[in-house]
Each structure stands twice: as structure tokens, then as C-alpha cells.
């Protein structure tokens, strides 16, 4: 095993990927440092060429192929970021690339893959189904298959991130790395241990797609029955068996996070760092709140930033509702002039901002019994929301909190 991912191979890969990558220097985070009691840095691979770290492994892998292997055409399966990496890297070598992507892949990732010269084929609901189909096409057409994670050469390319982290922050204590199939975690943890055995590497998975955690607990590769998470880039049913031994040897721990935590992390990154990070890349941000130690130098790898605008809008809306910065109340009003104005004045007196009104005169057959008013309100947070609700109650209304919607 140790003959494959060697320090020499990582050094070769680090030099090679510099031909296509751009520098993603560490960004210190005062906000998350204060929250966690650690000194937190981000490795912003969301700012990388093609929008994710995947270009590293794809380019290095393709560089190791023979001319004949490249001329046959390349094929891979990916939820998006590896797809773009392969398409971009293949174009640099003048090779044709076919990318099989799950039908659930965000549109921006499909379009970017085609922009870089790849031919996108949509198949299956999750990565694993897309991968099976890609392997079938490879056999039928003689294509050279580029696995997104279950390949030591690909993992070596991904691991170049650790080389850059250690060069910039030699005394790093912990590195947090997202896990889907395990390629990034394999490369980063293996190289980190080669450079400094004292560095701890923690993998982070979505709670509803934690195939690596299940595999480590079982002592062998495990296939999950489903992978239901908004972190589409890490929605993998089964980790790579070729790289699993490296994970067993070099990964120190795994943290799992819920999807709701990713929504909160997205808002934190937008508001505090003015950065767009896709849900899979947010895994290591959400994991910061789960750390059991303080006083350490921690690097969170932001693996990618390829999020489409519709998904972004949905995450923001859910995040605002989750944090009580947007909420909806329902109340019954007498059907007479001035009542709606009185509600609006009460909310305004508490510095609440009305962003939506739904006035239903037909909630009762007898309108004298009352009409329903639903008000969606913008607030500063939970305390402010409670103050607004209390003011409505004091004014004689009977507000009832209901599911907010924008």
C-alpha cells in the first residue's frame, strides 16, 4: 500500500498541478475563531479554477496516462466538480471527455462541464448509478475511465492541497476535510502524515450519506441503501475500496453533520466572509461547532463553490427562517376598516419589517367572526421575533406562529 502514495509521487503531483491551478492561500477567520476558541483558517478551493479542488486529481491522473489511453477518449462519472475537472484537464491534453452525471446534478455544473469541452450524459439519481453507467459505456466504446475518487493517482493529485497547507501554516494542528467517496481525504490525510505525523486529519460527512463512517466502523467498505442530502457532491453510497486502507491508516476521526447545519454555515460564510461555498464544501465549516478542543490551529478545506442560483436562493430562504430572521404569524381580525393598519403599526413600532401579507376574507362563512391575516415579517433574530409577537398579543391580537414561506 505505501508504495503507491509516496512523498515522491506527491511532490511530482504538486509540481504538475501548478500548471492548471491557481493559488488558494489560507484565509484566517476571526468569526469562527471566536466561536470555537481555535485559530481557524479556510483553504478556499471554492476559488479554484473550475470552482473546486477536483481539477488537481483529474489533471494529475490524465498526465500519467499514455497517449494511446488518452486518444481512446476519456469517461468519468461525477456529481459535477470532478466532471468539470476532467473536462478541463482533457481539453489541455486534446482528449475527448464524456461525463455521466446524476439527473439531480445542479444545472450550473452541467453547463460548466460542457463549457470546458466535456460531453454531459445525465443518468441515475445518485453518483453510484451514474458511475455504473459510465463503466458500461467505457466497456462498450473502449474509453479510458477516470474514477473520481477510487484511484490512488487521483487521490495523489487531490493531496497536493495538504502540501500547500503545510507550506503556508507549518504548525497546523488539525485539517478538516469533506468526504464523499474518500479521494480527497485519502490524499490529504496520507500526505499530512508523511509531512508531519502529529497533524490530525478529521473527515466530515453528511449524516444521511455517511458511507465512510459506516465503513470504518465495520472494518470494511460498506454500501449504504441511500444517500439523501443537500450536499450533492458527497452523496455517495459506497467509498472507494482501493483507497479505503489509506483512510483506515491515516484519518484520525470522522464528524457527521445534518443538512440544517449546512444551511446555517452557508449564511455564516456569505455574511462573514462574502464567499459562496457549495453544500459539500460547507461540511467542514459546519463541523467547526463539533470540535471538542480549543487553542489549536485548524484548517477547514472548502472543497468547492459550484452552487446554482436556484439552490442558493432556497438555502438562503431556509436559513433566514431557521434563524428566525423571517417568520410568519396568523391572526383572526374583525372584518372592519382599520384593523389591517393597526397590525402594521404594531409591527412597525417594534422595528419589524413586513415583507408579505395574505388577507383571506373567506376563512369563515360568517365574516363577522373574523378574517384571517397572515403576515411574513423580517426580524433580527429570535429575541426580536418574540418581542414582535408579544407586542401583537398586547395589542389584543392573537398571533399564531405558522410555517413561514417567502
Out of 16, 39, 43, 54, pick the active-site residue. 54
Nearest 10 degrees: Cα torsion 108, 112, 118, 122: 0
Q: Which ranges constitute the DSSP H helices of 169-273?
A: 183-195, 211-218, 244-250, 259-273
Contact 180, 208 (CB under 8 A): no
Q: Count the alpha carbons within 13 Å of 223 in the hemisphere toward its beta carbon.
A: 6
Distance of CA 335 to the CA centre of its chain: 48
Q: What is the distance between the alpha carbons of residues 266 and 158, in angstroms, rounded to a whole number?
A: 24
**Strand, helix or coil at 302?**
strand
DSSP percent split of the chain into helix, strand, coil, nearest 5: 45, 20, 35
Contact 41, 298 (CB under 8 A): yes
For 335-360, b/e burial (b = at least 16 CB within 10 A) is: eeeebeeebeebbeebebeeeeeeee
Q: What is the distance between the alpha carbons of residues 302 and 269, in angstroms, rounded to a whole number?
A: 11
Nearest 10 degrees: Cα torsion 65, 71, 73, 79: 40
Contact 297, 172 (CB under 8 A): yes
The yes-or-no answer on residue 78 being catalytic is: no
Q: What is the distance between the alpha carbons of residues 235 and 226, in angstroms, rounded to a whole number?
A: 9
CA angle 143, 70, 109 (to 5 degrees): 70
Residue identified by cell 481539453 is: 91
Out of 14, 63, 189, 303, pick the active-site residue. 303
Nearest by Cα to 5 from 150, 153, 146: 153
Give, as one character, the DSSP assignment of residue 79: S
- Biggest alpha carbon–alpha carbon distance for the chain: 83
The yes-or-no answer on residue 264 being catalytic is: no
Q: Mark residue 135 as left, alpha or beta (left: phi above 0; alpha: psi -120 to 50; beta: remaining).
A: alpha
DSSP lists the bridge partners of residue 328 as: 376, 402
DSSP lists the bridge partners of residue 347 as: none
Nearest by Cα to 263 from 244, 242, 286, 245: 286
Residues designated catalytic: 54, 303
Amino acid at each position: 500500500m505505501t508504495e503507491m502514495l509516496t512523498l515522491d509521487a506527491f511532490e511530482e503531483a504538486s509540481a504538475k498541478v501548478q500548471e492548471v491551478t491557481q493559488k488558494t492561500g489560507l484565509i484566517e477567520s476571526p468569526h469562527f475563531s471566536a466561536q470555537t476558541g481555535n485559530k481557524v483558517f479556510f483553504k478556499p478551493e471554492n476559488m479554484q479554477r473550475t470552482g473546486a479542488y477536483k481539477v488537481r486529481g483529474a489533471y494529475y491522473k490524465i498526465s500519467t496516462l499514455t497517449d494511446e489511453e488518452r486518444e481512446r477518449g476519456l469517461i468519468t462519472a461525477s456529481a459535477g466538480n470532478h466532471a468539470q475537472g476532467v473536462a478541463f484537464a482533457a481539453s489541455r491534453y486534446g482528449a475527448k471527455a464524456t461525463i455521466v452525471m446524476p439527473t439531480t446534478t445542479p444545472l450550473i455544473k452541467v453547463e460548466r462541464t460542457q463549457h470546458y469541452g466535456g460531453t454531459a450524459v445525465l443518468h441515475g439519481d445518485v453518483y453510484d448509478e451514474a458511475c455504473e453507467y459510465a463503466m458500461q459505456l467505457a466497456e462498450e466504446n473502449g474509453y479510458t475511465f477516470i474514477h473520481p475518487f477510487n484511484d490512488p493517482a487521483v487521490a495523489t493529485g487531490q493531496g497536493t492541497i495538504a502540501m500547500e497547507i503545510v507550506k503556508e501554516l507549518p504548525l497546523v494542528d488539525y485539517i478538516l476535510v469533506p468526504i464523499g467517496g474518500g479521494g480527497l481525504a485519502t490524499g490529504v490525510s496520507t500526505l499530512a502524515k508523511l509531512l508531519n505525523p502529529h497533524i490530525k486529519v478529521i473527515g466530515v460527512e453528511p449524516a444521511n450519506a455517511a458511507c465512510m463512517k459506516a465503513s470504518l466502523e465495520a472494518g470494511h467498505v460498506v454500501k449504504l441503501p441511500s444517500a439523501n442530502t443537500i450536499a450533492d457532491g458527497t452523496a455517495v453510497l459506497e467509498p472507494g475500496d482501493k483507497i479505503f486502507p489509506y483512510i483506515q491508516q491515516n484519518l484520525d476521526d470522522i464528524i457527521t453533520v445534518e443538512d440544517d447545519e449546512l444551511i446555517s454555515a452557508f449564511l455564516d460564510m456569505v455574511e462573514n466572509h462574502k464567499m459562496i461555498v457549495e453544500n459539500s464544501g460547507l461540511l467542514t465549516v459546519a463541523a467547526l461547532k463539533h470540535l471538542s478542543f480549543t487553542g489549536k490551529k485548524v484548517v477547514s478545506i472548502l472543497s468547492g463553490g459550484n452552487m446554482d442560483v436556484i439552490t442558493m436562493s432556497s438555502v438562503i430562504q431556509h436559513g433566514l427562517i431557521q434563524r428566525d430572521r423571517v417568520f410568519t404569524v396568523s391572526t383572526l381580525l374583525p372584518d372592519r376598516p382599520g384593523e389591517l393598519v393597526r397590525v402594521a403599526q404594531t409591527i412597525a413600532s417594534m422595528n419589524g419589517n413586513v415583507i408579505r401579507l395574505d388577507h383571506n376574507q373567506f376563512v369563515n362563512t360568517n365574516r363577522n367572526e373574523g378574517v384571517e391575516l397572515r403576515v411574513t415579517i423580517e426580524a433580527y433574530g429570535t429575541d426580536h421575533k418574540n418581542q414582535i409577537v408579544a407586542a401583537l398579543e398586547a395589542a389584543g391580537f392573537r398571533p399564531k406562529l405558522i410555517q413561514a414561506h417567502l
